[in-house]
Amino acid sequence: MPSLSFRDDFSVGEISEIEESCREAASSRCSLFVDQASTDDCQGRAKVGQPLNCISLTYFFFLSTFQELDENLVESLTSILGEKRVSLTEPVREQHGRDEGPYEPMPPQMVVFPETTDEVSEVAKACYSFNVPMIPFGTGTGLEGGTLALNGGVCLDLMRMHGIGDVHAEDFFVSVRPGVTRLHLNRFIKDHGLWFPVDPGADASLCGMCATSASGTNAVKYGTMKENVLNLEVVLADGRVLHTAGKDRCTKKSSAGYNLTNLFLGSEGTLGIITEATLKLHAIPETMLSAICSFPSVKSAVETTIQIMSSSIPVARIELLDEEAMKACNAYSKTDYEIAPTLFFEFHGSEASVEAEASLVGDLSEANGGSGFRYAKTPEDRSKLWKARHDMYYAILSTKPGYRAVITDVCVPVSQLETMITETQHDFNVSGLSGPILGHVGDGNFHSFVMFDPEDDSQLKAARELASRMARRALALKGTCTGEHGVGWGKKPYLDEELGGVNVDVMRQIKAALDPKNLMNPGKVF
């Protein structure tokens, strides 16, 4: 049986050989997944060949092989967790073989619901001894297919692992289990005068956010998960339990050995299962002031952003929404903002400092042609504004019912943002596709959701080409193909190009050291 292959250059002959091997391996379930945008020859072959399956959005020829689950493993997992916390049923498997991105579901063979670290460890030991893949699952809000069970296996739904530890208000930290989401935590710690600022649009699990190294609108001031996690408890593939900063340690800094915490941040379930995260907390600012301002063009809004960032004005948030995004925002969130390229701002600090910063930003905006600078001061107005921003993915999807979107998430040095966005807009104009631009521009990070009709192959191909040009343009401008959503399954084609062969080799070596049987979320990241 050939091993897993991630290539985009299989010849028709090679595909036939792989098919033959699949047929010979009678005890294996095996499918070859094919990228629709690959060579015409291979595409044609894929459509007629059996057991080839064609899924529309993958970028590779990908051979997925998996054994039927051994009855003894099922029995063993059932005895660890009890019958009610294991499931082999189709709806439950289906629900866990997807995320919120555009990829076709690939269900696991079994879903289990552990409640404690010991149970996760026992499940891992059992899967390890039966050589069965393990896929951690949080709230399933990922956008790059990270939870798809490419090789079958057992999905560990971690949302029943509840628990928020003691709030250490003086030392600004708290530990959370995987079942805790960011909004849940923020409600819990509010009365201590504390908050956790990392805010992807979705109400994601905090351990899932560790796994993808998430960020969001507040990263300009507070950083991403990488700057806000002090320690992680991780169950390794063989069931051993690791504390990345040492058990119960929670200091702001340490020079003791390698930074294993950051190794697991962004590892997307490929190195281990995060069963607890110790998070850095922040004091709720005395005053938070939001504002929005319209601009004559995206270019002038981006120029304003660059000037604000290079003047070191300590903004907490700067978000760009282009004209199309603003239309979608008003329609979905029932807001009445002007339909024009717009910047959303927020300032955190004392009453005097936020007013001074807002006034400076107002002046800079005006000097770049900005108009209608208006504040959202009350908690209700602020939360309406930011909820509308966080809901933009759904707002944009709802503009074309039945359409799907290729998701882009590029990040470039802020000084390159204008080139990046102007060239992307030009691409959109030429392609005739629709794709609002929005994003966390204070960090040089933005998204476009490139809409396509899934019934129309030519639209899908054009959307994919456009997204791919965007990713490569970001790389050419010394940026990255993913600022925050992760590589998952969808961004794999760019990893080598972005990081280089030696880098990816070292990652593979680290993976092999921690997960020698390649059982942790196999097929993701590289």
Ligand X SMILES: Cc1cc2c(cc1C)N(C[C@H](O)[C@H](O)[C@H](O)COP(=O)(O)OP(=O)(O)OC[C@H]1O[C@@H](n3cnc4c(N)ncnc43)[C@H](O)[C@@H]1O)c1[nH]c(=O)[nH]c(=O)c1N2
- Options 68-76, 118-126, 214-222, 278-286: segment touching ligand X (CB under 6 A): 214-222
Instruction: Give yes or no for a contact between 136 and 117, defined as CB atoms under 8 angstroms apart.
Output: no
Exactly one of 348, 464, 485, 491 binds ligand X (CB under 6 A); that residue is 485
Integer Cα distance of 122 and 76 in angstroms: 9
> Which string of DSSP letters, residue by residue, matches 184-219?
HHHHHHGGGTEE-----SS--BHHHHHHHT---TTH
Q: Which residue is nearest to ligand X (CB)?
A: 208
| 154-173 residues near ligand X, rule: CB under 6 A | 158
Smallest gap from Cβ 392 to ligand CC(=O)C(=O)O, in A, equals: 5
Smallest gap from Cβ 21 to ligand X, in A, equals: 28
Based on CB atoms, which residue is closest to ligand X, 205 or 480? 205
| 230-249 residues near ligand CC(=O)C(=O)O, rule: CB under 6 A | none
Exactly one of 137, 386, 403, 452 binds ligand X (CB under 6 A); that residue is 137
Based on CB atoms, which residue is closest to ligand CC(=O)C(=O)O, 289 or 320? 320
SS3 content of the chain, % helix, strand, coil (to 5): 40, 20, 40
Exactly one of 49, 97, 133, 142 binds ligand X (CB under 6 A); that residue is 142
| 368-427 residues near ligand CC(=O)C(=O)O, rule: CB under 6 A | 392-393
Smallest gap from Cβ 448 to ligand X, in A, equals: 13
Q: Which of ligand CC(=O)C(=O)O, ligand X, none does 291 bind, CB closer than 5 to 8 A by kind?
A: none
Integer Cα distance of 347 and 318 in angstroms: 9
Smallest gap from Cβ 100 to ligand X, in A, equals: 4
524 binds ligand CC(=O)C(=O)O (CB under 6 A): no
99 binds ligand X (CB under 6 A): yes
105: DSSP letter: P
220 binds ligand CC(=O)C(=O)O (CB under 6 A): no
Exactly one of 10, 393, 446, 452 binds ligand X (CB under 6 A); that residue is 393
Of 148, 33, 57, the C-alpha closest to 464 is 57
Instruction: Give yes or no for a contact between 363 and 293, defined as CB atoms under 8 angstroms apart.
Output: no
137: DSSP letter: E
Instruction: Give yes or no for a contact between 442 and 220, defined as CB atoms under 8 angstroms apart.
Output: yes
204 binds ligand X (CB under 6 A): yes
408 binds ligand X (CB under 6 A): no
Lookup: tokens for 480: 């990255």
> Which string of DSSP letters, residue by residue, matches 316-380?
SEEEEE-HHHHHHHHHHH-----SS-EEEEEEEE-HHHHHHHHHHHHHHHHHTT-EEEEEE-SHH
179 binds ligand X (CB under 6 A): no
Instruction: Give yes or no for a contact between 521 and 146, defined as CB atoms under 8 angstroms apart.
Output: yes
Burial of 351 (0-12, 13-18, 19+ CB in 10 A): exposed
Based on CB atoms, which residue is closest to ligand CC(=O)C(=O)O, 473 or 485? 485
Of 223, 147, 217, 138, the C-alpha closest to 179 is 138
200 binds ligand X (CB under 6 A): yes
Instruction: Give yes or no for a contact between 196 and 279, defined as CB atoms under 8 angstroms apart.
Output: yes
**Rule CB under 6 A: which residues touch ligand CC(=O)C(=O)O?**
201, 392-393, 447
